[in-house]
Amino acid sequence: MEDKYAFLDPMDNEWKDVMDGMRKTEQQWGAPFYIFHENLFVRNLNLLRKCLGGDVGIAYAMKANPWLAPAAAETADYIEVSTDGELRMCRAYGIPGGRIMLDGVLRTEDMLRDALDMGVRRFGIDSVEQAWQIAEVCDELCGAGRLGADSVKLLLRLGSGGRFGMDREEAAQCIHICDKSRTVRIVGLNYYPGTQRSEAGKLKRELEYFRQSLNCLCELPGAEISEIQFGCGVGFPYFIGEKREGYTAAVDEAAGFVHELRKKFKVIYEAGRCAAASAGVYVTKVFQIKEREGKKILFCLGGTNHLRYPGGALGIRTPHIENLCAAPAGRTSGCMVCGALCNEADVLARSAAVDEGVQRGDLLIFCGAGAYSATEAPNLFLSMEMPSVLVYNKMDNVYYPLDMRCLRGHASTYRLLDDRM
């Protein structure tokens, strides 16, 4: 029987083939490196869609893992993009503009024009200033015959008490601005309260806030709301001993709200972390072992400059780690696992169960590294070498080596097909 919440498992059986060939992979590419599993990620998106009601739309938040965007484009309805860097990467991937939703706080005029040139016609609006900006640029292009009337769709982002989004008065101003435009029209609302949600009670309160705000905004003069794009920030159980029940309850709470909204609106659910997390691992190598007060300290290539778990600072909570020992003893003991940085905070796990036969050159594989691992960690600290990025496709039995420099604008080198492993 299919486990509909399998996307919340830190180590899925889909990784078996990859794990079996991990030593060969390391010999070819050299540790440390990430592996992102396209097939597993696509399965996760499909499972999430089933949990939410089958025909609900899905927008993949590219910020969670930009290397999985091409796979997302094959399954999700939209790719949610927040920066010009992500926009360039979508262009390099060949993702059509009609599949992109441009959101975010920073919106330069050049970025807006580039998006429109790519064919992007769906935008999130975070402020009154953004509404003025997009209306002016789009009307100019419409006057020049480069955009059609009412061709650009806008979704107003509702605030949840923080610095993002807008309140009712600001939304009313945006509606007034867009009513005067020939080109842009407000079709819906966007709401995202936060991330790493693991408790249904808090999420229920946040969704109730959104429900009340939605009812108020629908009553504003000129408001014609037909679409809702929202995400609940459902989290992922990264650590040993962490139960997934709180996370599954959050998924169920989101599903109930989707069912309610679909009675009146077209619904697009924004997903990132919960779909991508289990679809990635971080692989590193032990280069030095010390012993302090009878406990081994394993020093690994890379470290917290490559991998960050939410709530895992100083390695106090232990993530799921697989270790490949050349001479396994068959017994485990608690080891501290550290990185190679000259920083006392560079601790990946204070007490990880590692085979007692561990030695220099053995591999450690950190699970649940598919979301925000490479993009949130401070990769440039100490000017250390960036890790390799490999995207695995089981159907082709091929690894695609990707260049992390694409994050700095060199997207033309992005998706290179290499020899079969």
The stretch 120-143 carries a mean pLDDT of: 93
Residue 191's pLDDT is 83
For residues 379 and 179, the model is more confident at 179
Residue 418's pLDDT is 36
Residue 325 has pLDDT above 70, yes or no: yes
C-alpha distance from residue 402 to each of 67, 74, 255, 410 (Å) = 8, 19, 35, 11
Positive or negative, the CA dihedral 160, 58, 142, 185 is negative
Residue-range definition of the domain harbouring residue 292: 279-413
Say yes or no: 270 and 285 in one domain.
no
The stretch 78-90 carries a mean pLDDT of: 93
E strand map for 14-138: 33-37, 57-61, 78-81, 100-102, 122-125
- Type of residue found at 421: M
- 30 located within any domain: no
CATH code (residue 363):
2.40.37.10
What CA dihedral angle connects 221, 222, 223 and 224, to 10 degrees? 140
| Percentage of the residues of the chain whose pLDDT score is greater than 70 | 91
Confidence tier at 199 by pLDDT (50, 70, 90):
confident
Distance, CA of 84 to CA of 407 (rounded, Å): 11
Residue 239's pLDDT is 92
Confidence tier at 135 by pLDDT (50, 70, 90):
very high
Residue 421's pLDDT is 33
The stretch 157-167 carries a mean pLDDT of: 77
Nearest one of 139, 252, 145, 150 to 197, comparing CA atoms: 252
Say yes or no: 387 and 331 in one domain.
yes
Among 81-95, 286-300, 394-408, which stretch is predicted with the lowest mean pLDDT?
Answer: 394-408
Distance, CA of 390 to CA of 417 (rounded, Å): 11
Say yes or no: 238 and 140 in one domain.
yes
| Percentage of the residues of the chain whose pLDDT score is greater than 90 | 49
Residue 409's pLDDT is 37
Residue 382's pLDDT is 66
Say yes or no: 143 and 250 in one domain.
yes
Residue 327's pLDDT is 86
CATH code (residue 216):
3.20.20.10
Say yes or no: 253 and 350 in one domain.
no
For the segment 185-194, what is each residue's pLDDT rounded down to a tens digit? 999 998 887 7
- Does residue 386 contact residue 349 with C-beta atoms inside 8 Å? no
Residue 374's pLDDT is 78
- Does residue 236 contact residue 12 with C-beta atoms inside 8 Å? no
For the segment 249-271, what is each residue's pLDDT rounded down to a tens digit? 889 988 998 999 999 999 999 99
The stretch 50-62 carries a mean pLDDT of: 90
Distance, CA of 203 to CA of 330 (rounded, Å): 43
Residue 152 has pLDDT above 80, yes or no: yes
Say yes or no: 177 and 303 in one domain.
no
The stretch 191-201 carries a mean pLDDT of: 74
The stretch 161-182 carries a mean pLDDT of: 85
Among residues 277, 303, 329, the one where a domain terminates is 277
Say yes or no: 174 and 147 in one domain.
yes
- Does residue 347 contact residue 315 with C-beta atoms inside 8 Å? yes
Among residues 254, 277, 300, the one where a domain terminates is 277
Distance, CA of 79 to CA of 45 (rounded, Å): 13
For residues 54 and 339, the model is more confident at 339
For the segment 295-319, what is each residue's pLDDT rounded down to a tens digit? 899 999 988 889 988 887 878 899 9
Say yes or no: 248 and 309 in one domain.
no
- 318 located within any domain: yes
Say yes or no: 331 and 392 in one domain.
yes
Confidence tier at 272 by pLDDT (50, 70, 90):
very high
Q: For 405-418, give the DSSP string.
A: GGGGT-GGG-----
- 28 located within any domain: no
Say yes or no: 289 and 403 in one domain.
yes
What CA dihedral angle connects 193, 196, 202 and 205, to 10 degrees? 20
Question: Average model confidence (pLDDT) for the chain?
Answer: 86
For the whole model, what pTM was predicted?
0.91
Residue 177 has pLDDT above 50, yes or no: yes
Distance, CA of 387 to CA of 305 (rounded, Å): 10
What is the C-alpha end-to-end distance of the chain, expressed in Å?
A: 32
Say yes or no: 239 and 291 in one domain.
no
For the segment 99-109, what is each residue's pLDDT rounded down to a tens digit? 999 998 888 99
For the segment 372-403, what is each residue's pLDDT rounded down to a tens digit? 987 777 776 666 778 888 999 887 666 666 65
Residue 417 has pLDDT above 50, yes or no: no
Residue 407 has pLDDT above 60, yes or no: no
Residue 91 has pLDDT above 90, yes or no: yes
- Does residue 68 contact residue 391 with C-beta atoms inside 8 Å? yes
For the segment 328-370, what is each residue's pLDDT rounded down to a tens digit? 888 888 999 999 988 888 999 999 999 999 999 999 999 999 9
Residues 6+ apart with CB under 8 A from 291: 297
Residue 420's pLDDT is 30
Confidence tier at 71 by pLDDT (50, 70, 90):
very high
C-alpha distance from residue 406 to each of 383, 397, 403, 414, 415 (Å) = 17, 24, 6, 6, 10
Say yes or no: 283 and 273 in one domain.
no
| Residue burial 159-179, b: 16+ Cβ < 10 Å; e: rest | beeeebbbeeebbbebbebbe
